[in-house]
Structure 1
Amino acid sequence: MSRKAREAAAQDGASVIIKKYANRRLYNTASSSYITLEDLAGMVRENVEFQVLDAKTGDDITHSILTQIIMDEEANGGQQMLPVSFLRQLIGMYGNSMQAMMPSYLEASMANFRENQSKIREAFEKGISATPFAAIHETNMAMMRAAAEVFLPGAVSSKPAEKKPASPPAASSDEIAALREQMAAMQKKLDELGK
């Protein structure tokens, strides 16, 4: 396959093949050039589909390469994204009867988060608690709390969250202050879970 054909295939949504050689070098077959893990991280951010193959055996090693990128990002990124408590809980799931369910649960959670993150950000930036976007956020949080309780009993408080009556569309300063207090309480709980 010619270089132009490979690039056209990559643009048509086909996976770019990356070959990893014994000397740890990565070769992008679409661009006919050697690349780094940082380049692969950039491809992920640009939503470029790729598959990493061991050049000698032909085995698909994409999972281990992506895991290595995460490890590098966590070590060098300055601000870590994965809290220690999450890592401990994730490690604890290996060998657990729920292990088979975790990949699909994590994929669904991340997809749901990505779909709604801009809507949620807008709702909180505007300080409007009675919008459909805030309702989406509350539904997502309730789903995550319920799933966390199923997957990790005891990790979430057993006391159900109190439902508040819907407020009128115009948010008063009292409602905004209450939202700020709730956000501070949530942050405190997250900090405690991170310890």
Structure 2
Amino acid sequence: MKKQAEGAGTGPVTIKKYANRRLYNTEASSYITLEHLAAMTREGRDFKVVDARTEEDITHNVLTQIIMEAEGRGTTPMLPVNFLRQLISMYGDSMQAVVPGYLEASMDSFRRNQEQFRTAVEGAFAGSPFAEIAKRNMAMFDAAAQAFKPAQKGAGPESKDAQIASLKAELAALQDKVERLAK
């Protein structure tokens, strides 16, 4: 995340990780926990975690650790098992280089549309003009969830291409409807 929380300094905060696993916030001159880093992330505060001995950037590893701990203690994991299996299967695949950009763009798009989606879902129960959008969004999410499931026996490339074409058509119709409602 690139946005800065109000009152925060400029640039990313440097967090040093010591061999004893302790994290030191150089901006606040205090030791912190992974939960503090998770809170900083939710606040939009940018930080960089470096190994205190080697100065190696280990931000990716620490963020992954935060996710793993959150997944382990949550009652409902955010990352479905089928998604994790598919993600793991992409390592070493020719598409591995494309996946990070795709996931980042997908999450950015989701975050941008999150509030609009919430409003649409709430409106679906109130009979508002967003009811149709909410229905289409739910259909798209169901179709996307189906796309992440392992392939069914007998499902060839034609059926996958048809699913993609159907999703693209639904997305185009949804975007058109949103633009008309925004006017």
Asked whether the two chains share a fold, i.e. TM above 0.5, the reply is: yes
Are positions 1:29 and 2:65 aligned together? no
Point out where structure 2 has 5 or more consecutive residues left out of the alignment. 1-6, 178-183
Query: Normalising to structure 2: TM-score of the pair?
Result: 0.70
Which residue pairs with 2:103 in the alignment?
A: 106
Counterpart contact for 2:123–2:130, Cα < 8 Å = no
- Structure-to-structure mapping, 1:152-191, within 5 angstroms: 154=151, 158=160, 159-160=162-163, 161=166
- Provide the C-alpha distance between the structure 1 equivalents of 2:11 and 2:55, rounded to a whole number of angstroms: 18
Instruction: Percent identity, please.
Output: 52
Of 82, 96, 104, which aligns to 2:93?
96
Counterpart contact for 2:123–2:129, Cα < 8 Å = no
Match of 2:14, SS state, is: strand
Query: Normalising to structure 1: TM-score of the pair?
Result: 0.66
Counterpart contact for 1:120–1:133, Cα < 8 Å = no
The number of equivalent residue pairs is: 151
- Provide the C-alpha distance between the structure 2 equivalents of 1:116 and 1:68, rounded to a whole number of angstroms: 27
- Provide the C-alpha distance between the structure 1 equivalents of 2:8 and 2:132, rounded to a whole number of angstroms: 34
Which residue pairs with 1:11 in the alignment?
A: 8
Counterpart contact for 2:121–2:131, Cα < 8 Å = no
Which amino acid letter does the alignment assign opposite residue 61 of structure 2? S
Which residue pairs with 1:125 in the alignment?
A: 122
Which amino acid letter does the alignment assign opposite residue 42 of structure 1? A
- Provide the C-alpha distance between the structure 2 equivalents of 1:132 and 1:57, rounded to a whole number of angstroms: 55
Which residue pairs with 2:77 in the alignment?
A: 80
- Provide the C-alpha distance between the structure 1 equivalents of 2:72 and 2:119, rounded to a whole number of angstroms: 31
- Provide the C-alpha distance between the structure 1 equivalents of 2:53 and 2:83, rounded to a whole number of angstroms: 36
Over 3 Å counting, the alpha-carbon distance change for 1:129 and 1:99 in structure 2 is farther
Which amino acid letter does the alignment assign opposite residue 134 of structure 1? I
Point out where structure 1 has 5 or more consecutive residues left out of the alignment. 1-9, 170-195
Counterpart contact for 1:53–1:62, Cα < 8 Å = yes
Match of 2:54, SS state, is: coil
Which residue pairs with 2:181 in the alignment?
A: none
Over 3 Å counting, the alpha-carbon distance change for 1:100 and 1:39 in structure 2 is same
Structure 1 vs Structure 2 CA RMSD: 3.5
Counterpart contact for 2:51–2:57, Cα < 8 Å = yes
